[in-house]
Amino acid sequence: MKQSAPNIKITDEGDGCLIIDLFGKVGFDTIESILKEILASVKKTQPDQVDLRLTEVEYFDSAGTAMLLRLRRGLEKRGVQFTISEVPPKVENLLRLFDFDKLAAAPPKIIRRRRNPLEALGESIIKMEKDLRRMTLFIGRFTIVMLWNLRHPGKTRWGEVVYLIQRTGAEALPIVALLSLLIGLVTAFSSAVQLRVFGANIFIADLVGIGMTRELSPLITAIIVAGRSGSAFAAEIGTMKISDEIDALNVMNIKPLEYLVLPRLLAVMLVMPFLTLFSDFCGVLGGLVISMASLDLTPVAFMNQLHQAIGLWDVGSGILKAFVFGILVAGVGCYRGLETMGGALSVGKSTTSSVVSGIFLIVVADSVFAIVFHYLGI
């Protein structure tokens, strides 16, 4: 006989039968030590049968049930017969809630069928078609809300718009300044090597000025806003959707498009042109620094050439792009938030989808602008 632990007694009958008596508390804080003692004894004695007696058990919970299941599985793998005897009524009532034979059986193997490429393509097309239909419905409903608020500007939540302008605009200035300055520096530095060879140092002002105002600044600003604000819109509205706050607004006869989407869209539409102008300034400043350091140009010569190179339309086209990019970014972020279904995992998916979709639409819109401007000759 061996006294192994305060709440377990193991008796080796010597005929291939191991008797284990449990008593006292069998719960979450004792099952590991009990299981360890039993398996160690089984490994040492190599019995053919293990009889577990629960006569003197005073406390038994679901953790003890899980221990019995683990013990049965472990013994059956070793080829040892396992029985439970002398079960008190209160423990028996708990054990009746579980089907040990079904739980102890090995789980069925899941055969993963290899998807047919045509089937996967068809599912993707159907998913895109449904998403496009919902997005078209969202655009139509929001257009109606926007037109109604243009006729009734006093109904717009301008206080919320101002707060969102601070979040999406003022708080984005540092990162816009840093990235625009670095891109201006890199663009100028990469071009300075070739321009110096041909003695065309002065034209670095044309390259940096036109590149930043027409293309780079609107793109940089829009991508930053998509990453910062578009994702935040999707996460905020998505969280409200899964926590039934959107349904609560509908019950109170408050339109989510008017209450949540409109202020965010107006805020982004208003701040994007100003962020783009700020990005233009920082990018040109980076080009000026490289011009002075690498090409020995004076600030006056650089600014004079810049004044001749860029016109009002160069700056205006960038602002126009930024305005459209802002609509796309804010609209996609709010749309993905409203389409959130499920739990916290869906919020993360909606946030990711808003950034990916926003950047994709920005690039597509910029390509459309490039083609239109080309054929218009501007």
Give the tens place of pLDDT for each residue, 241-272.
998 899 899 899 888 899 999 999 999 999 99
Judge whether 57 and 23 are in contact, CB under 8 Å: yes
Q: Is the pLDDT reported for residue 180 higher than 90?
A: yes
**How would CATH label the architecture of 2-104?**
2-Layer Sandwich (3.30)
Residues 124-148 pLDDT 10s? 899 889 888 988 898 898 899 888 8
Nearest to 356 by CA among 333, 322, 324: 333
pLDDT category at 2 given cuts 50, 70, 90 is very low
pLDDT at residue 102 in the model: 63
**Domain extents in the chain:** 2-104, 156-376
Residue 5 has pLDDT above 50, yes or no: no
What was the pLDDT predicted at 280? 94
Query: Hunting for tokens 């891109």 — which residue is that?
Result: 183
Query: Per-residue confidence at 75, pLDDT binned at 50, 70, 90?
Result: confident
Dist CA 211 CA 206 (whole Å): 8
286: left (phi over 0), alpha (psi -120 to 50) or beta: alpha
| Residue range 353-362, pLDDT digits in tens | 999 999 999 9
Q: Which of 19-28, 73-82, 104-113, 323-332 has the highest mean pLDDT?
A: 323-332
**Cα dist from 158 to 17, 18, 165, 322, whole Å:** 82, 79, 10, 22
- Confidence check: pLDDT of 184 > 60: yes
Long-range contacts of 126-134 (CB under 8 A, 24+ apart): 134/339
What does the pLDDT average to over 109-134?
82
Query: Residue 106: what pLDDT?
Result: 57
The answer for residues whose C-beta is within 8 angstroms of residue 176's C-beta and 6 or more apart is 220, 221, 224, 275, 278, 279, 282
pLDDT tens by residue, 334-360? 999 998 888 888 899 999 999 999 999
Report pLDDT digits (tens) over 198-256.
Answer: 777 888 889 899 999 999 999 999 999 999 999 999 999 999 999 889 989 989 988 88
